[in-house]
């Protein structure tokens, strides 16, 4: 689903076990509902959300993700995110915000991957955002931080 692959309508990969990498670099999902509920892949390979060296695949045209509310990541398990550079946590937080509701498993999954890539501060940012979202959904304000 890469190299300008275009999805229209619903792409339902619920429960799919790819057994390999999920290639969606430079894919276009803007006109689709992409459901990855409980799907699994060894590696997520996309573009535009990581910081990479000039000329690296991370700097290829970005994957165009679905519109807000049309990306479902709850239970999507992947062991790593392909990146020659550092995973950009701010861009990944925006990616998580495309979900129609805020399940917490995608935050935990991504925090684990970011921590294992050597970015413990980025992992903490993800967990803090997850907690803020949880508190807001429960009618509380975000946690005050110094």
91: left (phi over 0), alpha (psi -120 to 50) or beta: alpha
- Written as one string, the DSSP assignment of 82-139 is --SS-B-HHHHHHHHTTSSS--SHHHHHHHHHHHHTT-HHHHHHHHHHHHHHHHHHTT
Look at residue 53 in the predicted model and tell me its pLDDT: 54
Question: What pairing do the DSSP bridges indicate for beta strands 22-23 and 77-81?
Answer: unpaired
Mean pLDDT by 10 residues, the chain (146 residues): 86 93 91 96 87 57 92 93 84 93 88 94 94 83 64
Residues 6+ apart with CB under 8 A from 37: 14, 15, 72, 73, 74, 75, 76
Look at residue 3 in the predicted model and tell me its pLDDT: 77
Q: Write down the pTM of the prediction.
A: 0.85
Q: Report domain extents, the chain.
A: 6-137
């Amino acid at each position: 689903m890469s190299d300008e692959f275009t999805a229209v309508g619903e792409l339902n990969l619920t429960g799919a076990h790819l057994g390999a990498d999920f290639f969606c670099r430079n894919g276009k999902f803007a006109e689709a509902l992409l459901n990855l509920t409980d799907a699994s892949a060894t590696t997520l390979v996309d573009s535009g959300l990581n910081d990479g060296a000039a000329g690296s695949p991370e700097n290829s045209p970005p994957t165009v993700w679905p519109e807000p509310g049309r990306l479902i990541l709850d239970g999507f398990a992947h062991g790593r995110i392909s990146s020659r550079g550092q995973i950009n946590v701010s861009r990944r937080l925006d990616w998580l915000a495309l979900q129609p509701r805020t399940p917490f498993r995608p935050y935990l999954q991504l925090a684990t991957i970011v921590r294992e890539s050597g970015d413990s501060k980025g992992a903490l940012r993800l967990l803090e955002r997850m907690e803020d979202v949880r508190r807001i959904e429960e009618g509380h304000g975000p946690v005050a931080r110094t």
